[in-house]
């Protein structure tokens, strides 16, 4: 699992790449949270274009970042979900909390 972070102005975009499970979620979480801490953005975008697998540990990751952004009165967008990842997100009701793009 790789995670490349871009930030511009008040927006952080995290490009996730690979498989998200309990084993891989921790590093990604730490990386994203460090950037949130440093920047206090208004918008966090999690880009799933290159994510090939995700289970409920990924839901924990997304839910946790949603809470972080709520503390900052900011927003979370989730983008480029494959059908499989969309199915997992919907089961968790993430589509009611965050804005899903595409």
Partner 1 sequence: MKILNQFKMELLARSSNESFSRVAVAAFVSQLDPTIEEISDIKTAVSEAVTNCIVHAYKEQLGYIYITVRILQGNKVSIKIKDKGCGIADIKQAMEPLFTTAGGERAGLGFAVMQSFMDKIYVKSQVGKGTTVIFHKQLKSR
In the complex, minimum distance from the CB of residue 56 to partner 1, in angstroms, rounded to a whole number? 4
Could you tell me if 62 and 98 are in contact, meaning their C-beta atoms sit under 8 angstroms apart? yes
In the complex, minimum distance from the CB of residue 34 to partner 1, in angstroms, rounded to a whole number? 16
In the complex, minimum distance from the CB of residue 84 to partner 1, in angstroms, rounded to a whole number? 4
Could you tell me if 45 and 13 are in contact, meaning their C-beta atoms sit under 8 angstroms apart? yes
In the complex, the residues that contact partner 1 under the rule CB under 8 A are: 19, 21-23, 25, 29, 53-57, 59-61, 63-64, 83-84, 87-88, 91-92
**CA-CA-CA-CA dihedral for 88, 92, 97, 98, to nearest 10:** -10
Question: Residue 68 has which token pair?
Answer: 């972080």
Of 11 and 60, CB closest to partner 1:
60
Quote the CA–CA distance of 99 and 74 in Å, as a whole number.
12
Of 9 and 83, CB closest to partner 1:
83
In the complex, minimum distance from the CB of residue 9 to partner 1, in angstroms, rounded to a whole number? 28
């Amino acid at each position: 699992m790789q995670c490349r972070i871009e930030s511009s102005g008040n927006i952080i975009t995290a490009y996730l790449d690979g498989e998200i499970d309990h084993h891989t979620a921790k590093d990604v979480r730490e990386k994203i949270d460090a950037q949130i801490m440093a920047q206090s953005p208004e918008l966090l975008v999690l880009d799933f274009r290159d994510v090939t697998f995700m289970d409920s540990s990924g839901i924990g990751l997304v839910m946790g970042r949603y809470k972080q952004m709520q503390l900052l009165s900011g927003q979370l967008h989730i983008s480029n979900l494959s059908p499989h990842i969309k199915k997992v997100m919907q089961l968790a009701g993430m589509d009611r909390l965050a804005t899903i793009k595409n």
